[in-house]
Structure 1
Amino acid sequence: MFGLIGHSTSFEAARRKANELGFDHIADGDLDVWCSAPPQLVEHVEVTSPAGVTIQGAYIDSCFVPEMLSRFKTARRKVLNAMELAQKKGINITALGGFTSIIFENFNLLQHRTVRSTTLDWQRFTTGNTHTAWVIARQVENNAPLVGIDLAKAKVAVVGATGDIGSAVCRWLSARTGVGELLLVARQQQPLVDLQQELGGGRIMTLEDALPEADVVVWVASMPKTLEIDQASLRQPCLMIDGGYPKNLDSKVSGGGTYVLKGGIVEFFQDIGWSMMELAEMDKPQRQMFACFAEAMLLEFEQCHTNFSWGRNNISLEKMDFIGAASVRHGFSTLNLQSQVQHAAA
Structure 2
Amino acid sequence: MTRTSFTFLVHPRTRVGEDLARVWKPLGRVPERVYDTALRRLPVAPATIAAVEVGGERVGHVVLVPFGARHLLEAPAEGRARVARAVDRAVALGSGVVGLGALTATVTGGGTSLRSRTDIAVTNGNAFTAATVEQQARDALDRFVTTGGRHVAVVGATGSVGSAVTRLLARDGGVERLTLVSRTAPRLAALAAEVGSRVAVSTATDLRSVVDADLVILLTASADAVIGPEHLSPAAVVLDATQPRNTSPRLLVERPDVTVLDGGVVDVPSLRLVGSDIGLPDGRAYACFAETAMLALSGQRGHFSIGNPGLDLVDRTRGLAADLAHLGFVPAAPTSFGRPVPTPAPAPAPAAAGGVAA
Do they superpose with TM above 0.5? Answer: yes
1:92-131 matches, cutoff 5 A = 92-105=96-109, 109-110=113-114, 120-121=117-118, 124-131=121-128
Higher mean C-alpha displacement, 129-138 vs 233-242: 233-242
Aligned to 2:142: 145
Aligned to 1:216: 215
**Aligned 8 A contact 1:139 1:336 in 2:** no
**Structure 2 CA distance for partners of 1:122 and 1:171, relative to 1, 3 Å:** farther
Q: Distance in 2 between matches of 1:276 and 1:66?
A: 19
Q: Distance in 1 between matches of 2:265 and 2:142?
A: 19
Determine helix, strand or coil for the equivalent of 1:58.
strand
Q: Distance in 2 between matches of 1:107 and 1:94?
A: 10
**Structure 2 CA distance for partners of 1:31 and 1:273, relative to 1, 3 Å:** closer
Determine helix, strand or coil for the equivalent of 2:285.
strand
1:256-295 matches, cutoff 5 A = 256-277=256-277, 280-282=278-280, 285-295=281-291
Q: What runs of 5+ residues in structure 1 fail to find an aligned partner?
A: 23-28, 114-119
**Structure 2 CA distance for partners of 1:250 and 1:46, relative to 1, 3 Å:** same
Q: Does 1:75 align with 2:73?
A: no
Aligned to 1:38: 45
Identity fraction in percent? 24
Aligned to 1:241: 239
Q: Distance in 1 between matches of 2:330 and 2:94?
A: 29
Say which of 159, 162, 165 aligns to 2:158.
162
Determine helix, strand or coil for the equivalent of 1:36.
coil
Aligned to 1:26: none
Q: Distance in 2 between matches of 1:227 and 1:316?
A: 27
Aligned partner letter, 1:318: D
CA deviations 1:216-254 (Å, max 9, x no partner) are 1111113574856344x6333311111222114144632
**Aligned 8 A contact 2:120 2:302 in 1:** yes
**Aligned 8 A contact 1:141 1:177 in 2:** no
Determine helix, strand or coil for the equivalent of 2:82.
helix
**Structure 2 CA distance for partners of 1:17 and 1:336, relative to 1, 3 Å:** closer
> Normalization by structure 2: what TM-score?
0.79
Q: Distance in 2 between matches of 1:169 and 1:123?
A: 27
Aligned to 1:58: 61
Q: Distance in 2 between matches of 1:177 and 1:146?
A: 17
Q: Does 1:175 align with 2:178?
A: no
Q: Distance in 1 between matches of 2:301 and 2:58?
A: 13
1:43 Cα shift?
2.8
Determine helix, strand or coil for the equivalent of 1:274.
strand
Q: Does 1:185 align with 2:181?
A: yes
Determine helix, strand or coil for the equivalent of 1:144.
helix
CA deviations 1:51-78 (Å, max 9, x no partner) are xxx5611111122222423334432221
**Aligned 8 A contact 1:250 1:260 in 2:** no
Determine helix, strand or coil for the equivalent of 2:251.
coil
1:299 Cα shift?
0.7
1:4 Cα shift?
0.7
**Structure 2 CA distance for partners of 1:325 and 1:238, relative to 1, 3 Å:** farther
* Number of corresponding residues: 322
Q: Distance in 1 between matches of 2:94 and 2:146?
A: 47
> Normalization by structure 1: what TM-score?
0.81
Q: What runs of 5+ residues in structure 2 fail to find an aligned partner?
A: 28-33, 347-358
Q: Distance in 1 between matches of 2:146 and 2:218?
A: 18
Say which of 313, 318, 334 aligns to 1:319.
313
Determine helix, strand or coil for the equivalent of 2:274.
coil
**Structure 2 CA distance for partners of 1:223 and 1:336, relative to 1, 3 Å:** farther
**Aligned 8 A contact 2:121 2:300 in 1:** no
CA deviations 1:280-305 (Å, max 9, x no partner) are 322xx212221111111011122223
Q: Distance in 2 between matches of 1:275 and 1:267?
A: 20
Determine helix, strand or coil for the equivalent of 1:183.
strand
Aligned partner letter, 1:217: V
**Structure 2 CA distance for partners of 1:228 and 1:155, relative to 1, 3 Å:** closer
**Aligned 8 A contact 2:50 2:61 in 1:** yes
Determine helix, strand or coil for the equivalent of 2:109.
helix
**Structure 2 CA distance for partners of 1:256 and 1:322, relative to 1, 3 Å:** same
Q: Distance in 2 between matches of 1:161 and 1:271?
A: 31
**Aligned 8 A contact 1:92 1:305 in 2:** yes
**Aligned 8 A contact 1:129 1:309 in 2:** yes
**Aligned 8 A contact 1:274 1:286 in 2:** no
Q: Distance in 2 between matches of 1:141 and 1:186?
A: 22
Aligned partner letter, 1:212: V
